[in-house]
Structures are given as C-alpha cells and as structure tokens.
C-alpha cells in the first residue's frame, strides 16, 4: 500500500508540475499575441500639481485582461516581454498609443505631458533614440510632451554609465523629458543626479507610507528634496492615498502628486472626464 501511495503522490506531483508549465507556456503565448496585436491596454493616472494650479501630467500604465488568465500584473507582462524579446515592441506600442491619445483629444490634452515607463533593456540598445525619433515624426503631437520614466536602480546597475549618459542626452535632444522612477530605493547619490539630464524625480511610494511616523525617512526625504531643488528638478510624490500623506509631502516641498487620493489609473475616456471635472487651469 505504501508503494502505491508513493506512486500516486509522484504521479500527482508530475501532473501539477506539467500543468504549471503548461499554464506558463500558454501565458507566454498569450502575452506574445497581445503585444503583436497591440491588444494590451494603456491606462492613465493624473499627476496633480500640489497647489491645484500649474501643470498637470499623466503616467501611462499598461493593463491586460487575458480571457484565459484574468488580469495579469504589469510587472509580470514586462518580465514576460523581456524573456520573449518583445520588450522594445511593448515600449513602442505604449508610446504610439500615447501619440494616438493626443491625436484623439488635442484640446483636452494640450499642455499635459504624459510619461511612459521604459525598461532598461530597451534603453541600452543602440537604436533606441533612433526609433524614438522616428515615432516622433510619425506622431508630432508627442513633441515636447512625452517623457520617459526610468527606474533609479536600472540606471545604477548599468554597466556602462558613460554610454547611458550619452543615450540620455540623445533622448533629451529630441525634446523628450526624463524622469527618475522609484527614486530613493536605489540609494543614488548626488553624482548620479548631476550626471544624468533628468527633469523630474519621482519619490517611491514606500517612503510615502512611512513618512509621518518615521523620522529617519523624513530626514532622507528632506535632503533628497533639497537636492532635487538645487538641481532644478521637479519633485513628484508617488502613491499618495490619504489626506494626511498629502499634507506630509506638501510640507516636504513636493511639486506634484500622483496617487489614489486623487485618481486611480483610468482608461482614456474616463481620464478625459476626470480632467474635465477636476483640472483647474
């Protein structure tokens, strides 16, 4: 009986293992098809000037509902795309959709810049700026309004910093903005900020959560804010969910705020309605 039990257990484990592989494979296949068919949605989350007046911006965030796998998280889609060699296609797809969005709502979106997250694997490619320039001629409405978000850690971990700096300068020369995303998680120093031509620093949301009750966090954020100001960068706080957090980042001197407190990421038409109802110009 014991042997039979062992065999059964073994068969069961093998079946589960095979199913998991099958699930992952089918997910890969679906991600691939979704990117190829531009079937991944892009939602937009407003970035609000803290004093109500001033420049509004938005961040483009991918959303994908698979008929077989349900909602698939953005980081997972990004990871899959990297493994499938489709990460560039994903980036270009999102940027084109942003261009299309500007084209569809020229009046409502005039003066609003939109940022797109870019994976470091894409940035490191030599042809990155060239392709970007090509898309800007395809969608001239992106000029002066598109910004790219690059995480702090992805730049810190880059092997060839001078190459990265020249890539960034090339991108800036095209009139495209650059933001440091998830700032504070990678412990970048002054040198990092001085060498790269960034316009915006986005404080990671992990800090916002502990800003009020942790004096150490407050001290770090205060010196980061000073640094950003000295280097003429805009400071954005990510992940502000409550009024008290808004007040805390206001005290810090943040310029703009992004978070559920104001608005969740929304589909195109809904975010247009949000802007019409909430934007003070």
Q: Does 75 bind ligand C2E (CB under 6 A)?
A: yes
* Pattern 156-195, ligand C2E, x by CB under 6 A: -------------------------xx-------------
Please provide the distance, in angstroms rounded to a whole number, between the alpha carbons at the two ends of the chain: 78
* Using rule CB under 6 A, residue 260 touches ligand C2E: yes
Which one among 94, 123, 155, 252 touches ligand C2E, defined by CB under 6 A?
A: 94
Tell me whether strands 70-72 and 57-66 are parallel, antiparallel or unpaired: antiparallel
> Which residues, including other chains, have CB under 8 Å from residue 139's CB and lie 6 or more apart?
96, 99, 100, 102, 103
How many CB atoms within 10 Å of residue 243?
9
Would you state the structure tokens that stand for residue 95, as one six-digit string? 């940027």
- Residues of this chain, 173-212, that bind Mg ion according to CB under 5 A: 181-182
Using CA atoms, how far apart are residues 229 and 212, in angstroms rounded to an integer? 22
Q: How far apart are CA 206 and CA 211, in angstroms?
A: 9
- Of positions 35, 265, 266, 272, contacts ligand C2E by CB under 6 A: 265
Site string for ligand C2E, 18-57 (x = CB under 6 A): ---------------------------x------------
**Contacting range for ligand C2E; rule: CB under 6 A; set: 100-108, 117-125, 153-161, 224-232:** 117-125
Beta-bridge partners for 179 = 149, 200
Nearest 5°: phi and psi at 207?
-70, -35
Q: What's the closest the beta carbon of residue 28 comes to Mg ion, in angstroms?
A: 24
Question: Torsions phi, psi of 127, nearest 5?
Answer: -85, 5
152 is a site residue for ligand C2E (CB under 6 A): no
Q: What residue 94 binds from Mg ion, ligand C2E, none (CB within 5 to 8 A, per partner kind)?
A: ligand C2E
Residue of 101, 257, 259, 275 that binds ligand C2E (CB under 6 A): 259
Residue 214 CA to residue 207 CA, distance in Å, equals 9
Q: What does residue 20 show for φ and ψ, rounded to 5 degrees? A: -65, -45
Cβ nearer to ligand C2E, comparing 43 with 136:
43
Using CB under 5 A, list all residues that contact Mg ion: 117, 149, 181-182, 238
Using CB under 6 A, list all residues that contact ligand C2E: 45, 61-62, 74-75, 78, 94, 117-119, 149, 181-182, 205, 238-241, 258-260, 265
């Amino acid at each position: 009986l014991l042997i039979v039990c062992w065999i059964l257990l073994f068969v069961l484990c093998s079946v589960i293992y095979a199913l998991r592989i099958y699930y992952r494979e089918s997910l890969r296949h679906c991600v691939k098809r979704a990117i190829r068919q531009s079937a991944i949605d892009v939602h937009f989350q407003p970035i609000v000037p803290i004093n109500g007046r001033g420049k509004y911006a938005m961040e483009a965030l991918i959303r994908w509902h698979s008929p077989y796998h349900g909602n698939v998280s953005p980081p997972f889609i990004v990871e899959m795309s990297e493994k499938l060699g489709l990460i560039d296609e994903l980036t270009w797809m999102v940027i084109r959709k942003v261009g299309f969005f500007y084209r569809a709502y020229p009046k409502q979106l005039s003066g609003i810049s939109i940022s797109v997250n870019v994976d470091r694997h894409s940035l490191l490619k030599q042809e990155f700026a060239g392709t970007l320039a090509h898309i800007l001629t395809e969608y001239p409405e992106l000029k002066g309004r598109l910004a790219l978000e690059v995480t702090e850690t992805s730049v810190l971990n880059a092997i060839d910093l001078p190459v990265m700096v020249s890539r960034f300068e090339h991108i800036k020369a095209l009139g495209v903005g650059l933001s440091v995303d998830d700032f504070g998680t990678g412990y970048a120093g002054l040198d990092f900020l001085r060498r790269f031509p960034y316009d915006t620093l986005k404080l990671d949301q992990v800090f916002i959560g502990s800003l009020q009750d942790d004096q150490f966090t407050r001290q770090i954020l205060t010196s980061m804010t000073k640094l950003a100001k000295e280097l003429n960068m805009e400071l954005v706080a990510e992940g502000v969910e409550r009024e008290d957090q808004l007040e805390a980042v206001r005290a810090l001197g943040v310029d703009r705020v992004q978070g559920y407190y104001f608005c969740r990421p929304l589909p195109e038409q809904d975010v247009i309605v949000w802007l019409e109802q909430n934007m003070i110009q």
